[in-house]
């Protein structure tokens, strides 16, 4: 099998299944098996985040679960496979948020607004597992690293295309598309380093506020969005007429790269 074919097969397998399929000779998984696999992943995700990948052992995972090693090894060959499963899930969830159906004819800025909100929400939901894609990349298989890189490149291609189209249509205002897109990626992609669910803002409000910050970075006026989208993303609660007007005036004058709230 050619490398490109193997890579495509691996991607399809991970996308279609929440975890690695059973080895040859094993029966199809029951719901109980799926639940056990998910429990392993949840515990490992927490330990990897608290102690990092290098500081977490299979013994620690088993102790936290209250099981012996054969229980875990039935589902995963080692902690690298656990980390890959977690990192892949998080990466797909976060980096596929700007994909839209080919027949979606909505304006670019509307799709971008919806996609950015989905992106921030996914990164908040998966912030612990997202850390694995950055922190342990060097220890993962080269072909897996290539898959993660392809996902990221595809995301930035989608983001750049929507940004450029929105600017051509007069709905967005920013300078260099690549620099702005990378700045947005840094603001959102690395929230695992500082975001805390128990922090000052509830998760949904945090998502909305960070989304509004991204809008400001690309000069997107929330007033330009259809009412259903503003309601769907709850942005109308974060943008009173006064705050919306003042922020739009500031963007029109200076188009600043705002810092996060």
- Report angle CA 160, 163, 168 to the nearest 5 degrees: 125
Alpha-carbon span 167 to 8, nearest angstrom = 34
Taking only Cα atoms into account, the Rg of the chain, rounded to an integer number of angstroms, comes to: 21
CATH topology of domain 88-253: Tetracycline Repressor; domain 2 (1.10.357)
pLDDT tens digits, 20-71: 444 444 556 799 999 999 999 999 999 999 999 999 999 999 999 999 999 9
**Contacting residues for 106 by C-beta, under 8 A, at least 6 apart:** none
pLDDT tens digits, 138-162: 888 999 999 999 999 999 999 999 9
Counting as low any pLDDT under 70, the low residues of the chain are: 1-28, 230-261
pTM, rounded to two decimals: 0.77
pLDDT of 137 reads 78
């Amino acid at each position: 099998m050619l490398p490109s074919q193997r890579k495509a097969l691996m991607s399809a397998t991970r996308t279609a299944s929440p975890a690695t399929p059973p080895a040859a000779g094993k029966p199809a998984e029951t719901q109980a098996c799926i639940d056990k696999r998910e429990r392993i992943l949840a515990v490992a995700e927490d330990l990897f985040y608290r102690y990092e990948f290098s500081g977490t052992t299979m013994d620690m995972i088993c102790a936290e679960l209250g099981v012996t090693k054969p229980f875990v090894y039935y589902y995963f060959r080692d902690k690298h496979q656990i980390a890959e499963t977690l990192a892949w899930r998080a990466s797909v969830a976060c980096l596929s948020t700007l994909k839209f159906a080919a027949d979606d004819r909505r304006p670019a800025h509307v799709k971008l607004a919806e996609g950015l909100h989905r992106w921030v929400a996914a990164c908040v939901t998966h912030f612990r597992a997202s850390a694995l894609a950055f922190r342990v990349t060097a220890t993962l298989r080269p072909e897996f690293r290539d898959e993660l890189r392809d996902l990221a490149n595809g995301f930035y291609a989608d983001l750049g295309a929507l940004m450029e189209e929105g600017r051509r249509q007069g709905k967005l205002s920013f300078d260099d598309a690549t620099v702005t897109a990378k700045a947005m990626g840094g603001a959102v992609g690395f929230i695992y380093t500082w975001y805390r669910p128990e922090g000052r803002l509830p998760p949904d409000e945090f998502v909305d506020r960070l989304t509004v910050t991204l809008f400001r970075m690309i000069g997107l006026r929330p007033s330009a969005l259809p009412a259903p989208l503003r309601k769907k993303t709850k942005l109308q609660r974060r943008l009173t007429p006064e705050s919306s007007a003042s922020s739009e005036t500031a963007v029109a004058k200076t188009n600043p790269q705002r810092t996060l709230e």
